[in-house]
C-alpha cells in the first residue's frame, strides 16, 4: 500500500472522482470537466499505484479556542472503493495525516461515532433545531433594523462574525462568502444583517423560504445580545403572513431562545443533533492554552494516544490561571485516557464528577484527584460549518 498526496494530474483527479462515485453513488463521467478539490487530497494506492483504493480531503481552517487562534484540519470526503473496504487503507490515511505537526486539532462530521472514536475523534457536543408556529413569536415586537447582504458589505459582516467566533470554542473564522448568501436574487437564499441604532452590524440571519411546506428555514442566526436577537426575530415575523412555520437550525445547546419562548407555547418542537467530532493533534499546546483555576492544583494523566507527540504521562501543575506542563515516558498518573477521551476532556471539558467520567469510553480511573476535574470545566464549544 502506498500513501501519498494526490497531484493535479488527470490520472489522480479521475481516480479521486471514481472512488467518490462508487462510494457515495453519484454520477461521474470522464468527458465532463474535472473540478479541482478545495483542499489537499491524500490517497491510498495499491502497491503498483494503478488503483486508488481510498482517499480523504483535508482543508485548513482557523478556529477559536479560549480567545486564541489555533490551526485545524477539516477532514472530509473519506471514501473507499467497495472492493477494497475493510483492508485498513482509511486507517493508514489518518496515520499519514496525524504525522503533520502543523495542526492543533482536527474536526470531521462522522458517519459513525464508534468508527472515528477508534481514530481518536469524539463528539464535541450538540446543537438544536427549533421548529415552531410563527404565532409563538407574538411576544416579539415588530420592530427591527436590518440590511440585505449582497456581498458588498463583506468587511463588516466578516468582522462581526469573527469577533463573535472568538467568544466560543472551536468556531470557524470566516474570510469569504462560503457560508453567507451574496447572491440572494439568484439562489433565493437570504442573509440579512441586523443593525444597532448607530448602523453597526450586531447580528445576522441566513434563511430560505419553502412555499409548498409553508416554512421559513433559518440555517444560521447570530446575535450579540438580547436586543440584537429580538431585532432579528422581529424581522422574521414579517414572514408570518405568508408562512405558517419557522424552523431555526444549528442553535447552540445554551441558546437563550430555547428558554425565551412563553411557557404556554404548544406548537414547538426541539430536535437535538450531534455537532461533529474533534481530535486533539497538539496536546501540549492545547494544555497551555487552557484557562486554569486561581487556586493551586496538580494532577497527572496517561495519554494513550498513538500519535507520538501526544503520548506519555503529562503532569499539570496550575495556579493563578496558568499551568506548568511536563511530559515523561512513564510515571504515576491519576487517569489513563485514550485519544478520543482525551480529546473530549481537553477540548470540550466535563460538567460531571468521577462517577460520570467512569462511563466515558477509553477512561481508566486510578485516583480520584479533584484537581484534574477543576482544570477541565465544560466549554462553550460550537462548530457546524461544513467543508
Q: What is the pLDDT of residues 214-243, one digit of tens each?
A: 999 999 999 999 999 999 999 999 999 999
CA neighbours closer than 13 Å in the CB half-sphere of residue 368: 7
Name the pLDDT band for 72 (thresholds 50, 70, 90).
Answer: very high
b/e 325-338 (16+ beta carbons within 10 angstroms → b)? eebeeeeebbbbbb
Instruction: Please list the residues that pair with 107 across neighbouring strands.
Output: 74, 278
339: helix, strand or coil: helix
Q: Please, are residues 372 and 299 in contact by the beta-carbon 8 Å criterion?
A: yes
For the chain, give every domain's residue range: 2-103, 127-274, 278-375
Domains 127-274 and 278-375 share a fold: no
Q: Please, are residues 173 and 62 in contact by the beta-carbon 8 Å criterion?
A: yes
The DSSP output letter for 100 is -
The pLDDT of 282-286, averaged and rounded, is 97
Name the pLDDT band for 34 (thresholds 50, 70, 90).
Answer: low
144: helix, strand or coil: coil
Residue listed under C-alpha cell 453567507 = 180
CA 213 to chain centre: 29
Instruction: Give the pLDDT of residue 168.
Output: 95
Q: What percent of the chain has pLDDT over 70?
A: 98
Q: Which CATH number describes the domain made up of 2-103?
A: 3.40.630.30
Q: What is the pLDDT of residues 242-254, one digit of tens each?
A: 999 999 999 999 9
CA neighbours closer than 13 Å in the CB half-sphere of residue 45: 16
Residue 314 pLDDT greater than 80, yes or no:
yes
User: Rounded to two decimals, what is the model's pTM?
Assistant: 0.92
CA neighbours closer than 13 Å in the CB half-sphere of residue 236: 34
Distance between CA 331 and CA 347 in Å, rounded?
24
- Which one, of 88, 11, 100, lies nearest residue 59 by Cα? 100
Instruction: Give the pLDDT of residue 265.
Output: 64
Instruction: Give the pLDDT of residue 23.
Output: 86
Distance between CA 224 and CA 203 in Å, rounded?
6
Q: Please, are residues 268 and 131 in contact by the beta-carbon 8 Å criterion?
A: yes
Residue 340 pLDDT greater than 70, yes or no:
yes
Q: Which CATH number describes the domain made up of 278-375?
A: 3.30.1050.10
Please return the burial class of 88, using the count of CB atoms within 10 Å of its CB with bins 0-12, 13-18 and 19+.
middle
Q: What is the pLDDT of residues 109-158, one digit of tens each?
A: 999 999 999 999 999 999 999 999 999 999 999 999 999 999 999 999 99
> Could you give phi then psi for residue 369, rounded to 5 degrees?
-80, 115
CA distances from 33 to 20, 28, 54, 193 (A): 16, 10, 22, 37
> 85 Cβ partners below 8 Å, 6+ apart?
none
Distance between CA 283 and CA 337 in Å, rounded?
13
Name the pLDDT band for 31 (thresholds 50, 70, 90).
Answer: low
Instruction: Give the pLDDT of residue 33.
Output: 63
CATH class of 127-274: alpha beta
Name the pLDDT band for 25 (thresholds 50, 70, 90).
Answer: confident
Name the pLDDT band for 24 (thresholds 50, 70, 90).
Answer: confident
Distance between CA 110 and CA 122 in Å, rounded?
9
Helix boundaries (H) for the chain: 10-24, 89-98, 113-117, 154-165, 184-187, 226-236, 257-260, 283-289, 339-347, 354-357, 370-375
Mean pLDDT, the chain, integer: 94
Name the pLDDT band for 262 (thresholds 50, 70, 90).
Answer: confident
Q: What percent of the chain has pLDDT over 90?
A: 86
Angle (CA) 220-109-95 rounded to 5° is 145
Name the pLDDT band for 38 (thresholds 50, 70, 90).
Answer: confident
> 320 Cβ partners below 8 Å, 6+ apart?
294
Instruction: Give the pLDDT of residue 118.
Output: 96
Residue 22 pLDDT greater than 90, yes or no:
no
- Which one, of 348, 384, 148, 154, lies nearest residue 248 by Cα? 384
Instruction: Give the pLDDT of residue 264.
Output: 65
Amino acid at each position: 500500500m502506498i500513501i501519498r498526496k494526490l497531484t493535479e494530474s488527470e490520472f489522480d483527479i479521475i481516480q479521486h472522482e471514481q472512488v467518490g462515485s462508487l462510494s457515495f453513488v453519484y454520477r461521474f463521467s470522464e468527458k465532463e470537466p474535472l473540478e479541482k478539490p478545495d483542499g489537499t487530497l491524500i490517497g491510498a494506492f495499491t502497491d503498483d499505484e494503478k488503483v486508488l483504493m481510498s482517499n480523504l480531503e483535508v482543508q485548513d481552517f482557523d478556529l477559536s479556542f479560549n480567545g486564541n487562534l489555533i490551526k485545524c484540519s477539516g477532514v472530509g470526503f473519506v471514501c473507499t472503493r467497495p472492493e477494497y473496504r475493510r483492508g485498513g487503507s482509511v486507517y493508514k490515511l489518518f496515520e499519514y495525516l496525524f504525522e503533520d505537526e502543523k495542526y492543533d486539532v482536527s474536526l470531521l462530521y462522522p458517519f459513525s461515532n464508534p468508527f472515528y472514536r477508534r481514530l481518536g475523534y469524539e463528539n464535541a457536543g450538540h446543537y438544536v433545531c427549533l421548529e415552531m408556529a410563527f404565532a409563538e413569536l407574538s411576544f416579539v415586537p415588530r420592530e427591527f433594523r436590518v440590511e440585505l447582504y449582497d456581498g458588498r458589505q463583506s468587511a463588516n459582516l466578516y468582522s462581526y462574525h469573527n469577533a463573535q467566533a472568538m467568544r466560543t470554542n472551536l468556531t470557524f473564522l470566516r474570510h469569504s462568502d462560503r457560508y453567507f448568501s451574496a447572491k440572494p436574487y439568484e439562489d433565493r437564499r437570504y442573509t440579512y444583517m441586523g443593525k444597532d441604532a448607530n448602523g453597526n452590524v450586531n447580528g445576522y440571519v441566513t434563511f430560505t423560504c419553502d412555499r409548498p411546506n409553508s416554512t421559513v428555514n433559518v440555517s444560521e442566526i447570530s446575535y450579540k445580545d438580547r436586543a440584537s436577537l429580538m431585532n432579528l426575530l422581529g424581522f422574521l415575523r414579517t414572514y408570518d403572513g405568508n408562512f405558517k412555520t419557522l424552523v431555526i437550525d444549528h442553535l447552540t445547546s445554551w441558546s437563550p431562545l430555547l428558554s425565551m419562548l412563553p411557557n404556554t407555547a404548544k406548537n414547538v418542537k426541539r430536535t437535538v443533533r450531534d455537532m461533529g467530532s474533534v481530535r486533539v493533534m497538539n496536546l501540549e499546546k492545547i494544555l497551555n492554552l487552557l484557562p486554569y483555576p486561581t487556586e493551586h492544583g496538580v494532577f497527572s494523566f496517561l495519554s494513550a494516544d498513538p500519535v507520538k507527540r501526544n503520548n506519555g504521562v503529562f503532569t499539570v501543575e496550575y495556579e493563578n490561571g496558568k499551568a506548568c506542563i511536563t511530559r515523561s515516558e512513564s510515571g504515576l498518573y491519576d487517569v489513563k485516557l485514550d485519544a478520543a477521551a482525551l480529546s473530549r476532556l481537553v477540548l470540550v471539558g466535563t460538567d460531571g464528577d468521577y462517577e460520570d467520567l467512569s462511563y466515558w469510553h477509553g477512561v481508566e480511573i486510578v485516583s480520584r484527584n479533584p484537581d484534574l476535574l477543576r482544570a477541565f470545566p465544560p466549554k462553550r464549544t460550537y462548530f457546524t460549518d461544513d467543508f
